[in-house]
Structure 1
Amino acid sequence: MSILDLKDWLQTPQGQYLLEWEQDGLDRMVADVFGYNAVQVGLPGLDLLRANRMPYRVVCGRVADSGVVAEEFELPFASASIDLVLLPHVLEFSEHPHRVLREVERVLVPEGSVVISGFNPLSLWGLRRLLTRRKDAAPPWRGQYRAVMRIRDWLTLLGFEIQGNGFGCYAPPASSLKWLQRWQFMDRAGRRWWPVLGAAYLLHGVKRVHGMRLITPHWRSRKAASKRLSPVAQRDGGSRKTQ
């Protein structure tokens, strides 16, 4: 299964339930990420970066209706040229997840952000996937679900600092809208009693560059220097001299 199959599944009641939670979380997570260039990798047709205010936002994917056509592990962008990269369910459906993250690290500017969404294997949905390990299984049960701690470790090795994460979608993976609505009480209970067992997660990492120091104006030192150089009036035998 590829991420292209996931796009069709997101139109189902099950997929809409997941997408609603993810879009709300992404809106809050990327709203205050500033810069000039943002890239969404995969899922063309969905504006998952709608809440971000960067002037240039593009969708990169394998299909022709993407703004930029490319593989997720070979991004056609210059090194240190992108301020924000969004990976919606890319890592679990890519054959080269490590290469994807290395590419993201390459194209991001220092202090640039990566936001990742994925399915949590430690959830009722993860259990559903374990019970359906067939090659012909319907999406999204063919993906390679990866634990959040593993993704965090990969990012840390690449020099990222984790800024935040969140879990959601605690209802069982019912296929009908009626049953998903009946299980909605589990979303409220899950956020309180078992927060890390949601079906999906969001993860925000920032690229850190060791030894980099932000240069700011030396207003205080300039003010102190101006005081030292100011003339001082002194009395000498009744006359005033300036030194």
Structure 2
Amino acid sequence: MSDRAIIDWPTWTSSAPGRYVLDWEQAQLDHVVSDIFGYHALQLGMPQLDALRENRMTGRALVLDAESASSAPYTPPRATTPGVSALPAASAPDGRSTVWCDLLDLPFEAQSVDLLVLPHTLEFSPDPHRLLREAERVLVPEGQLIILGFNSLSLWGARQSLGKVAGRPFVPSAHEMIAFTRIKDWIKLLGFDLERGRFGCYRPPLVTEKWLQRYRFMEAAGDRWWPIFGAAYMITAVKRVRGMRLIGPRKLKKTALAPGLAPVAAPHTRNETRNEH
């Protein structure tokens, strides 16, 4: 297989390096999403990866972008209605729906989603900053955001950069790889707290299964000696709303009143009194 044969997603995901990366990412997602609870979970893009299969939320969906299909790792249906169209689950697993829409203008209410997974979605977005702002908008307070991507500070990133100059990129990407440090800065500016970061896939950027297997020893060595140079990364972040604290029932402090006097009811006191009756 030549390098040229693995630059598109459908072919690349079935190639040896594609299976290597997707197997690592699937294992990481299965471990993380199983402990995230709520009502609604969305995966934006990349149907080749089932990011939500171990999650137990009732409302799970795969969201795909028909507008950017020319650069996205999937092909939209031939007939779509303008705006949002809920289609039969052609790409999503059984029991879930596929929603076609513009990922930069998500058709979901603000603060309505508990979990949002972006598997390589930012690398294909024409405006990754705007996509992250949309993610922040639809997530509930304390909602979780998971981002997966290729690490530009790795052997794979170096080969990708050289390959693009020569017109032979190693991994499929409509735009440049986004460094882990840049993603951290972006989500911090949007009010997210980084919960965890994980690197993986330390083997060299090789094409054949035979040569990838010969370098299996680099997995354990990479985790120990050069963890930030893995070919892929996963970031888990939590949306924080500053100034909001999760506390128990509020206790009202009673004021000492002079005999025969009654307090003037403030607006919040009236509401609390009404709720008590």
- What does residue 221 of structure 2 align with? 189
- What does residue 62 of structure 2 align with? 59
Structure 1 residues 77 and 8: CA distance shift in structure 2, 3 A? farther
Partners of 2:170 and 2:140 in 1: CA distance:
34
Structure 1 residues 113 and 191: CA distance shift in structure 2, 3 A? same
Structure 1 residues 45 and 19: CA distance shift in structure 2, 3 A? closer
Q: Could you say which structure has the larger radius of gyration?
A: 1
Matched, 1:32 2:35: yes
2:128 aligned residue (86, 97, 102): 97
Whether the 8 Å CA contact 2:105–2:134 is kept in 1: the answer is: yes
CA shift for structure 1 position 134: 4.5
Whether the 8 Å CA contact 2:8–2:172 is kept in 1: the answer is: no
Partners of 1:105 and 1:139 in 2: CA distance:
31
Matched, 1:125 2:156: yes
State TM-score, norm by structure 1.
0.84
Moved over 3 A (4+): 134-139
- What does residue 141 of structure 2 align with? 110
CA shift for structure 1 position 45: 4.8
CA shift for structure 1 position 138: 4.8
**1:171-206 deviation per Cα after TM superposition (whole angstroms, max 9, x unaligned):** 011111111100111111101110110000000010
Whether the 8 Å CA contact 2:9–2:172 is kept in 1: the answer is: no
Letter of the aligned partner of 2:151 in structure 1?
N
CA shift for structure 1 position 141: 5.0
More displaced 10-residue stretch of structure 1: 67-76 or 156-165? 67-76
Partners of 1:150 and 1:127 in 2: CA distance:
17
- What does residue 259 of structure 2 align with? none
CA shift for structure 1 position 29: 1.7
Matched, 1:212 2:212: no
Partners of 2:144 and 2:115 in 1: CA distance:
5
Identity over aligned residues, as a percent? 50
Say what the alpha-carbon RMSD is for the aligned residues: 2.1
Partners of 1:135 and 1:29 in 2: CA distance:
38
Letter of the aligned partner of 1:56 in structure 2?
G
1:140 aligned residue (171, 187, 204): 171
CA shift for structure 1 position 135: 8.3
Please give the secondary structure, in 1, of the residue aligned with 2:149. Answer: strand
CA shift for structure 1 position 8: 3.4
- What does residue 13 of structure 2 align with? 10
Structure 1 residues 7 and 40: CA distance shift in structure 2, 3 A? farther
**1:35-76 deviation per Cα after TM superposition (whole angstroms, max 9, x unaligned):** 100000001253211111111110000224451001221211
State TM-score, norm by structure 2.
0.74
CA shift for structure 1 position 32: 1.1
CA shift for structure 1 position 154: 0.4
Whether the 8 Å CA contact 2:149–2:232 is kept in 1: the answer is: yes
